[in-house]
Amino acid sequence: MERQSRNLLITSSPPYIKNGETVHCLMFDVIISLVPAALFSIYVFGVRSLWIIFISSMTAVITEGVLQLLFFTKEFNYKTPILSFIKSEDITVTDGSALVTGLLLAFTLPPTVPYWIPIVGTVVAIALGKLAFGGLGYNIFNPALLGRAFLLAAWPVYMTTWLATINADVVTTATPLSMMKEDGQLTPIINLIVGNVSGSIGETSVVALLLGAAYLFYKRTITWHIPVSYIVTVFVFSLVLGMPAFFHVFSGGLILGAFYMATDVVTSPCTPKGRIIFGCGAGIITILIRKYGGYPEGVCYAILIMNAVAPLIDRIKR
Amino acid sequence: MDGFWPTFTKRTLRPANYMQEIAAMHTEGIETPEKVVLFLQDFCQDFCVKSNDIYEVYVKEGERVLTGQKIGLLLSDSKKLAVHSSISGEVITLGEALHPLGWKAYAITIKSDGKDERAQLRPFEGSGLTSSKEDLLHFLSDMGILIDYGLPEQVSTLLINVTEFEPCFSSKERLVVEEQEKLAKGLEVFLKLFDSAINTIFLLEKRHQHLFSNLRQICSVIKNTDVQVVRRPYPVTLQSLLRERITDGKKTAMIKWPNAVMPNAVMPNAVMIEPSVLVSIYDAYYKGEPFIRQLISVVGSAVKKPLNLWIRCGTTVDYIVDRCGGKTTNVKRLTMGGPLMGVPQHTVDVPVLKRANGISIDVAVLFDDERKSRVYKPTQCIRCGKCVDVCPAKITPNAIVDLIQDRRYEEAIRLGLFSCLECGLCYYVCPSILPLMELMKMGKYRAVGKHTLLTYNYYKML
Please answer yes or no on whether A223 and B424 come within 8 Å at the CB atom. Answer: no
A22-316: CATH, from 3.30.2310, 2.40.50, 1.10.3430, 3.40.5: 1.10.3430
> Could you tell me which of B429, B384, B401 has the C-alpha nearest to residue A136?
B384
Question: Between helices B275-282 and B171-178, what is the axis angle to 10°?
Answer: 40
Domain total for chain B?
3
Q: Residue B5 CB: number of other CB atoms within 10 A?
A: 9
> Is B147 in the same domain as B226?
yes
Q: Residue B131 CB: number of other CB atoms within 10 A?
A: 10
> Is B149 in the same domain as B95?
no
> Is B96 in the same domain as B146?
no
> Is B160 in the same domain as B276?
yes
* Structural domain range at position B106: 30-112
> Could you tell me which of B371, B400, B380 has the C-alpha nearest to residue B306?
B371
According to the model, what pLDDT value does residue B453 have? Answer: 41
> Is B162 in the same domain as B282?
yes
Q: Which residues of chain A lie closer than 8 angstroms to B343, CB-CB?
A: 14
Please answer yes or no on whether A136 and B2 come within 8 Å at the CB atom. Answer: no
Question: What single letter denotes the amino acid at residue B100?
Answer: P
Please answer yes or no on whether A9 and B3 come within 8 Å at the CB atom. Answer: no
The span from the CA of B110 to the CA of A41, in Å, is 78
Q: Which residues of chain A lie closer than 8 angstroms to B7, CB-CB?
A: 25
Burial class (CB in 10 A: 0-12, 13-18, 19+), B368: middle
Scored b (16 or more CB within 10 A) or e, B422-435 reads bbbbbbbbbbbbbb
Question: What single letter denotes the amino acid at residue B131?
Answer: S
User: Considering B228, B255, B287, which residue would you say is the last residue of a domain?
Assistant: B287
> Which pLDDT tens digit goes with each residue over A75-108?
777 788 888 877 777 788 888 899 999 999 999 9
Q: Is the pLDDT of residue B50 over 90?
A: no
Q: Is the pLDDT of residue B262 over 80?
A: no
Q: Which residues of chain B lie closer than 8 angstroms to A272, CB-CB?
A: 388-389
> Is B60 in the same domain as B145?
no
> Is B73 in the same domain as B187?
no
Domain extents in chain A: 22-316
Please answer yes or no on whether B385 and A275 come within 8 Å at the CB atom. Answer: yes
According to the model, what pLDDT value does residue A67 have? Answer: 92
Q: Which residues of chain A lie closer than 8 angstroms to B329, CB-CB?
A: 7
Scored b (16 or more CB within 10 A) or e, A152-182 reads beebeebbbebbbbeeeeeeebbbbbbbbbe
Mean pLDDT check: name the lowest of A59-73, B71-85, B269-283.
Answer: B71-85
For residue B94, being part of any structural domain is answered with: yes
The span from the CA of B249 to the CA of B127, in Å, is 36
According to the model, what pLDDT value does residue A45 have? Answer: 86
Q: Is the pTM of this model over 0.90?
A: no
B244 SS3 class: helix
Per-residue CA distances from B193 to A294, B146, B152, B158, B425 (Å):
74, 13, 7, 11, 35
Q: Is the pLDDT of residue B87 over 70?
A: yes
Per-residue CA distances from A252 to A174, A175, A187, B341 (Å):
11, 8, 12, 49
Interface test with B, best of A13, A92, A225, A275 (most B CBs within 10 A): A13
> Is B61 in the same domain as B175?
no
Q: Does residue B254 belong to the interface with chain A, where contact is any CB pair within 8 Å?
A: no
According to the model, what pLDDT value does residue A227 have? Answer: 96
According to the model, what pLDDT value does residue B81 have? Answer: 86
Q: How far apart are the first and last CA of chain A?
A: 52
Q: Does residue B152 belong to the interface with chain A, where contact is any CB pair within 8 Å?
A: no
Q: Which residue would you say has higher pLDDT here, B173 or A84? A: B173
Mean pLDDT of A16-41: 88
Please answer yes or no on whether B342 and A14 come within 8 Å at the CB atom. Answer: yes
The span from the CA of A178 to the CA of A193, in Å, is 17
Which of A6, A11, A25 is the closest to B6 by Cβ? A25
Q: What is the mean pLDDT of chain A?
A: 87
For residue B79, being part of any structural domain is answered with: yes
User: How close, in Å, is residue A17 to chain B by CA atoms?
Assistant: 6
Which of B12, B329, B427 is the closest to A15 by Cβ? B427
Q: Does residue B388 belong to the interface with chain A, where contact is any CB pair within 8 Å?
A: yes
> Is B149 in the same domain as B241?
yes
Chain B, 352 to 381: residues with Cβ < 8 Å from chain A are 365, 371, 373, 376-377, 379-381
The span from the CA of A282 to the CA of A313, in Å, is 13
Which of B343, B347, B383 is the closest to A6 by Cβ? B347
Give the pLDDT band (50/70/90) at residue A197: confident
For residue B415, being part of any structural domain is answered with: yes
According to the model, what pLDDT value does residue B45 have? Answer: 62
> Is B131 in the same domain as B99?
no
Q: Which residue would you say has higher pLDDT here, A154 or B266? A: A154
Q: Is the pLDDT of residue B259 over 60?
A: no
> Which pLDDT tens digit goes with each residue over B427-441?
989 988 888 988 888
For residue B312, being part of any structural domain is answered with: no
- At residue B90, what are phi and psi to the nearest 5 degrees? -115, 140
For residue B306, being part of any structural domain is answered with: no
Interface test with A, best of B383, B386, B430, B454 (most A CBs within 10 A): B383
User: Considering B55, B80, B112, which residue would you say is the last residue of a domain?
Assistant: B112
According to the model, what pLDDT value does residue B452 have? Answer: 44
> Is B280 in the same domain as B142?
yes
Please answer yes or no on whether B4 and A24 come within 8 Å at the CB atom. Answer: yes
Q: Does residue B130 belong to the interface with chain A, where contact is any CB pair within 8 Å?
A: no
Q: Is the pLDDT of residue A62 over 60?
A: yes
User: Considering B287, B315, B338, which residue would you say is the last residue of a domain?
Assistant: B287
Scored b (16 or more CB within 10 A) or e, B276-292 reads bbbbbbbbbbeebbbbb
> Is B273 in the same domain as B144?
yes
Report the chain B residue with the minimal C-alpha distance to residue A90: B379
Q: Is the pLDDT of residue B366 over 50?
A: no
User: How close, in Å, is residue B49 to chain A by CA atoms?
Assistant: 16
Please answer yes or no on whether B377 and A89 come within 8 Å at the CB atom. Answer: yes
> Could you tell me which of B319, B324, B322, B294 has the C-alpha nearest to residue B306?
B324
Q: Which residues of chain B lie closer than 8 angstroms to A218, CB-CB?
A: 10
Interface A:B, Cβ pairs < 8 A: 153
Q: Which residues of chain B lie closer than 8 angstroms to A72, CB-CB?
A: none
The neighbouring-strand residues paired with B30 are B311
Q: What is the ipTM of this complex?
A: 0.87
Cis peptide before A15 (omega within 30 of 0): yes
Q: Does residue B224 belong to the interface with chain A, where contact is any CB pair within 8 Å?
A: no
Please answer yes or no on whether B3 and A24 come within 8 Å at the CB atom. Answer: yes
Which helix (H) or strand (E) segment holds residue B301: the answer is none
According to the model, what pLDDT value does residue A170 have? Answer: 53
Q: Which residues of chain A lie closer than 8 angstroms to B438, CB-CB?
A: 13
> Could you tell me which of A42, A27, A34 has the C-alpha nearest to residue A209?
A34
